[in-house]
Every structure is written in C-alpha cells, then in structure tokens.
Amino acid sequence: MPEQYDLIIRGGAVLDGSGAPGVRADLAVRGDRIVTVGEVPADAVAGETVDAQGLVVAPGFIDVHAHDDTLVLVEPDSEGKVMQGVTTVVNGNCGAGVVPYRSSRRAQEAGADLPTWDSYPGYLEAIASHPPSINVATLVGFGTMRAGALGGALPSFGTTPASSGVLGADVERPATAEEVTRMQAWLREGLEAGAVGMSTGLIYEPDRYASTDEIVEVARPLADFGALYASHVRGEGATLLDAHAEAMEIGRRVGVPVQISHHKASGRAFWGRVRDSIRQIEEARARGEQVTTDQYPYTAGSTRLAALLLNGRIGDSTADGLRGEDVLLASVPERPDWEGKSVADLADEWDVPPKQAAERVVEEGGRATIVVQFAMDEADVRTVLSHETTMVGTDGLGFGSRPHPRHYGTYPRILGKYVREEGVITLENAVWKMSGFPATKFNLAGRGFVREGHIADLVLFDPETVIDVATYEDSRRAPLGMPWVFVNGTAVVREGAHTHERAGRPVRRGVDA
Ligand code: ZN
Ligand code: CU
C-alpha cells in the first residue's frame, strides 16, 4: 500500500525558519500537520501534489504588527496579507484593540452578518465562527481599554464607531484606581483567552495621557502569563531614546519581554539616530532584558492625519515637521475623492498653509483619515533590517483606495529588494525574521518552523523572481513570485491565485492548535 497524504510538496529548498541554510527536501502533510520533512516515497499519493523545484519552501510568514482586527472579518480573504505569504497576523498593535467595544463602524457598514463581541474571548470566538483565510492572534490594546474605562470614542485604525467622535477631554487625565482595575480585568480576561500581550500607542489619544506608572499598573497581569509588552513609543524623532527607555522601563518593572514597534527614526533631522537606539537596545539586552523590535521596509510611514496634527508634525514648526508634499491622503472616509492627493495639493487648491489644509481634511474628511507620510531614511531602513533584534511586521492599514503599499508588499520587498538585489541580509536570516523569530517571541506554539509535527502554515516562493509591485500610487497589487500559500494545511494561494478558502483560526498564546 502506498503512503497516503493530503499534501505532498516535492523538491523544494526548505528553509525551516530557524535561520539555518536551505535543504532540498520533500514535505508531506496530513490534515493540518507536517508529517514528513525529507524524502517522501515516489509512489506516495496525496490529494494535492506540488512540484516545488526552483522554489523555496518556508514557514508561513507571521505579521507581528497588524491592524486587521476587524478587517479579517470584513474582508475575510485578507488578500493583502495572504498574497504576500502571511499566514498569521498579530492584531491589536499600537494600543488599538477591540475591547470593550462590540463592533465597529466598518463592520456595521459591511452587514448584519458579522459577529459582535464585548470581550477578547468573544473576539477570538468570532474569528473561529467567521474564519478568514488567515490565522489571527491578538494583543490587548491599551488605548482602546483606556477609552472604554475613562469614557470616549473608540480610537482604532479604520474601525471608528458610527459616532466617530473626538475623544472627550475626560481622557486627558490620569486613570483613577478604579479605572486601572477595570483595565487590568479586561487585560487578564484577554490573556486567559490567549492574547499574546498588551500594546500601547503613546503618540495617540488617549494612550498619550497615561503616565509610565499608570501603564505599569495596568500591565501587571502580563507577568502572570509570560505575555509581552509591545509599544509604539512616545516619540520617534527628537525623543526616540527617551521613548525607548520608557518602553524598556515598563518591561523591567512589570517583568516581561518588550517589543518595540516599527523601529525607526522619523524626521530628517533625526536620520541616523537608529544607530544610537540600537546601541541602547544592545545595552539593555546585555543586562538580560528581552528587547526586540519589528520593522516595515519603507521610508514612508502611515497613520491617522489627526495624530500627526496632534503631535505638531505638519508644517515647518518642528524639527521632525513634515512638508505638505510629504503627506499623501490614503483613506478619507467622507471624501474618498481626495485620496491620492497630497496635503500640499489641497493647500495650493485652497490657498492656505499646509497645517490649515490638514486640519480641514480631518474636519471634512473624517477623524479616521489615514495618510502616508515620507519621513525616514533609506540607510536607516537597512541598518534596522540588518540588526539581529529586528523581526518583520507590516503595520498595514488596509483601508481606502490607496493604503500604504506595506499592506501588500512588505515580505516580497524584503526577499526581492533587500535580500536578492541589495544583499542587506541573507535569505535564511530574512525567513527567520519573518517566521521562527516572531513565533518564538510571541509564543505561537506549533507555528513558525517547517518541522515534523508542526502546523502546515507554508509559503512557496521563487527566490529569483519574488518582488513587491505595490507602489504608493497603485498599492493594491499582489506581489510576483509567490505561487503557493498554505494555512493549516489548506491552499489559500494556488498557482498564484487566491483560493478563497477560509482556512484561518484564532491563535492563542502558547497553544499548539
Ligand atoms: Zn504604530
Ligand atoms: Cu501600528
């Protein structure tokens, strides 16, 4: 009797996700598990057999910096992520989570069919009952809890509630002891349900009004679960080193690992400063602190325009100021016709200074308006990418007609541009930063490595041709050279086409399932 499998992948160069060099091997999969890495008998039969000659077979990529909290429910194909080889997203970054809110404006607009929740257990159950094509892990968003506890509108990316209200002045104060207790309870409930940690976004409302002490108090439950603290730090320009120091202090005081989100130096005056922040991280690590970072490989960021205004970034008044032409409108809920224009375009049209134009865009276009802002240095991108503490995350905001291309191109861009064309890092190191490293740091058991017994989240790509083609002008474009993606053993990309299989699952911290 020939051996029988569900899936056989023959003749690929297997990069196992550990950073070890590639090995030519066959793979056999039964159900959702890899059962053989090595030689699969020639007469073995399978539901699907893939000829992987000339292709790399790697663990599916883990996007540790995602904002797809409700996007995975509204757009379950998750095309931007799936087509670039991502098999698991970690949502809830930058302080923006989904609790204590029941749903979101986007979800409501998309139809009554979508689930609601009022807790992290409920959110993860919603993923299980309405599975997307991709696996979903989550961080608990501190800012969203703080808005819920102190009273205010939901400060989330593209998931603003119907009211889309400006946060009340009531959040511009320290949390009371009772409010801290409420936030701790939500966090604990989330961690019990399998959340991987807690995030903050300290340039955003209402997170920015929280002191270091308040964050430490709310974060205490993390230590009981071995979960991590992830932070969009309080400043990425003039105050970068102080901001990193605060993140590390919080990690030390709570006694948990730290993940610094989208490591960068933002603003021309501060280019090159990532060398100092790297030294600072190395010193902390030498003291035994577990500090790591993530990065998206672009010189433009993307965030809410209201947040840039709030931080005094628009206009020439500050050293990390952005010029009108540096800021492109990506998603403008009330004025989609403005998407693709720059703040300078509108400032010219209206004959006002850039700052005034930006204020008018937020007023008429909506508080949830998202922009792409050119603020980083290419040399810094390479410096951060090549550092051993850096893993990969997209920070994708997949809303509007012109989202930042990172939502579609992050992984193939690293593999094509930074590995093949520029040789900034090796292929096996890149794959480690995309799979094994994040799985280890975020405690995603059974994922992130191509090993017997592990879950069959896999991506097959051609190292000679893989490349991103999503641009700032035309960003909703799937990459080239990535013909197969498997989630939990099921093909979600077959010969370059999305299969629309909804093979994803909720992923719970430390649970191999
Ligand atoms: Zn952020
Ligand atoms: Cu983010």
The answer to whether residue 170 scores a pLDDT higher than 90 is no
- With bands split at pLDDT 50, 70 and 90, how would you rate the model's confidence at 141? very high
Q: What is the CA(438)–ligand 1 centre distance, in A?
A: 17
> If you average pLDDT over residues 192-205, what whole number do you get?
97
> From CA 7, how far away is CA 373, in angstroms rounded?
44
Q: What ranges make up the beta strands (E) of 102-160?
A: 135-141
CA distance 457 to 436: 12
A 10 A CB-CB count for 147 gives 27
Q: Inter-axis angle of helices 212-219 and 177-193, to 10 degrees?
A: 40
Residue 291 has pLDDT above 80, yes or no: yes
CA–centroid distance, 70 to ligand 2, in Å, is 14
DSSP 8-state symbol, 314: B
For residue 410, how many other CB atoms are within 10 A of its CB? 32
Ligand 1 mean position, distance from CA 107 (Å): 22
The amino acid occupying position 66 is A
Distances (CA, A) of 262 to 81, 207, 331: 17, 17, 21
In this predicted model, which residue has the larger pLDDT, 508 or 107?
508
What count of residues does the chain have?
Answer: 513
Q: Is residue 143's pLDDT more than 90?
A: yes
Q: What residues pair up with 497 in beta bridges, in sequence order?
A: 494
- Reference 192, options 489, 509, 512; nearest CA is 509
Ligand nearest the Cα of residue 232 is: 1
The pLDDT confidence band at residue 166, using thresholds 50, 70 and 90, is very low
- Amino acid 472 reads Y
Higher-scoring residue by pLDDT: 135, 320: 135
Q: Rounded to the nearest whole angstrom, what is the distance from the C-alpha of residue 16 to the centroid of ligand 2?
A: 28
| Type of residue at 255 | G
Dist CA 375 CA 80 (whole Å): 24
**Centroid of ligand 1 to alpha carbon of 402 (angstroms):** 18
Residues with Cβ–ion distance below 5 A, ligand 1: 94, 232
CA-CA distance, 253 to 256, in Å (whole number)?
Answer: 8
CA–centroid distance, 55 to ligand 2, in Å, is 32
pLDDT band at 106 (very low <50, low <70, confident <90, very high): low
3-state class percentages of the chain: helix first, strand second, coil last, to nearest 5? 35, 20, 45
| Biggest CA-to-CA distance, the chain | 79
Cα(499) to centroid of ligand 2, in Å? 28
CA 446-62-246 angle, to 5 degrees, is: 110
Q: How does pLDDT run across 476-491, given as a tens digit for each residue? A: 999 999 999 999 999 9
Cα–Cα distance measured from residue 207 to residue 148, given in angstroms and rounded to the nearest whole number:
12
CA of 249 to the centre of ligand 2 (A): 21
DSSP state of 234: S
Ligand nearest to the CA of 67: 2
372 alpha carbon – ligand 2 mean position (Å): 13
Task: Identify which of 48, 54, 136, 40 has the alpha carbon closest to the alpha carbon of residue 93.
Answer: 136
ω into 100 cis (within 30 of 0): yes
Amino acid residing at 313: R
Ligand nearest to the CA of 207: 1
Q: Which residues contact 484 (CB under 8 A, 6 or more apart)?
A: 50, 52, 55, 458, 459, 460, 491, 493, 494, 495
Give counts: helices (H), strands (E), the chain: 17, 20
**Phi, psi of 274, deg, nearest 5:** -65, -20
Cα separation, 258 vs 247, in Å, equals 7
Q: What is the mean pLDDT of residues 349-368?
A: 95
- pLDDT of 11 strictly over 90: yes
- Say what the pTM is: 0.96
Spans of all domains in the chain: 302-374
Mean pLDDT value across residues 79-97: 97
CA separation for the pair 215, 513 (Å, rounded) = 31
State the pLDDT confidence band at 281, using cuts at 50, 70 and 90: very high
| Start-to-end Cα distance in the chain | 30
Q: What is the pLDDT of residues 226-256, one digit of tens each?
A: 999 999 999 999 999 999 999 999 999 999 9
CA of 117 from ligand 2 middle (Å) equals 22
Single-letter amino acid code for the residue at 10: R
The pLDDT of residue 164 is above 60: no
